[in-house]
Structure 1
Amino acid sequence: MLDHLNERMREFTGRQEMFFLSTADRHGNCDSTFRAGPAGFLRVLDEHTLAFPEYRGNGVHASLGNIRENPHLGILLVDFVRARIGLHVNGSAEILEDAEIRSEHPDLPQDPVPGRRAELWVRVTVHEAYIHCAKHIPHLQYAPKRTSRDWGTDDHKRKGGDFFGTARDRAARGSVGSAGPAAPAEPAVGEDGPRPGDVPPTPAPASVPAVGRPGGVPAPAPAPAAETIRPPVPADPPAPSARAWRERAERLLADARARRAAGERPSYEEWFSPPQ
């Protein structure tokens, strides 16, 4: 763990297009969010300092509100495409007006589009920087663009609309006990229109009267289909006991200390340390 960003960390940070941001308020209530932009939008000012623009978003301002109460934050950068490796950066933050930080760093990028124009910046003083290993990081690829993406849009539907149905649920709750039906909720709309799964449910078939049977007796219900016999699902293996888990962890730590004492170089060091 370093208290600064070395050369490889700075290069890694400068080519990322997204990161995950964690903040907490004065009471320790946490918030986790996502930031994205062109490569280099998380700006490396020097080995101890980062800065990123605050674009106009959903209007909640959770991260900025937390930072005003508690400056400590955590940043997680993950390269899913190229290196399949991650970088943790923990530090303290301050919120600056665009003009204020630009007076110190006039080379900061500036986008003329209103939805992508930063009015505020968050400047981060690095306290800790360390690796996030590749063990569970999936390898992703860029998908071809089907349509042009209106990045930075302020259009409500193209930003997601009622994707998770919260407005629909609220309207449904409000309609209970009312005289009339609830107003139709806005459909969930993704970036390129309705999602493939957003189809209305199939209505239940209307009842069909029994025709041509004596006394109008309804036809008997069809016999249920034969039940498919499936092989039993094997049970999950029992979880190791706390004692077994601790003994294994202690063995691994002892092995790591022995390799370190023997001068063996950690396998991850090649990512963020200059070659010897």
Structure 2
Amino acid sequence: MRRVVLDVDTGIDDALAILYAVASPALDLRAVTTVVGNVPADVAARSSLAVLARAGAHHVPVAVGATRTLAGAGPRPGPTDHGPDGLGGVLMPAGTDPSYDDPATVLRATADGGPVTLVGLAPLTNVAGTAAAATDLVLVGGELATEEPPEPNAGHDPVATARVLAGDRPTTLYVADVFQEVSVPPADVARVRSSGQPAASLAGELLAVRRAHLVGDAGALVLLTHPHLFHVEPRRMGQVGGHLTETDDGRLLDVVVGVDAPAVATAFVETLLLT
């Protein structure tokens, strides 16, 4: 099993990623850390704990990380389909209280037990301070075809993004171009929602309110378990005008440039139904 720590700003698709990490027999979810982004970091932590409780994963610790970006920004402004609690209005029972351990301490403690992949599904504020303790990084962020505004994860904390790019850990980037391609067909949303299995049915509820039923951040977890469904190439990536995108003088990263979207959606659904 691949040991993973998720760094999240729990919106709907972060919650889907947590559920997938719990459900997959190929992944060992060791901890969740939260960061400011879609919602405040403490809101993300409580939502993450509620998702874990629904999935029966009470043993997974959740730690509140950065409450402001390195440049001092708070949550992203403006309405989103995530809603004020990050879960799109899906009603959830309260989870236990999160810890306020430093995310770097959490990751170092996990890494003491062996290799660990840090999966960053949010602005890179926490990742900038914790990457050195990870074996490798899988990050949702950046874009190949740049549009305004910049992709929100890398763009919300450009200072942290620059620090991560200056690091030396093996890094795979799951870019917005691929993020937008994987959606679950309505029939499968209904099938998961009506499964009667707590984690799967919650995923169905979340997908039902998710824009276009996009898997979103959770696709980066499917990448870890089903890499043959993705096309990965080395690309030089750097920051240009607020965008994390291809540049001639950027850092060479493994970048997901293509995906078998229907197969990834199927793998996501079938894994959830294992629980």
Query: TM-score scaled to structure 1, two decimals?
Result: 0.24
TM-score with structure 2 length normalisation? 0.24
The structure with higher relative contact order (CA 8 Å, sep 6+) is: 2
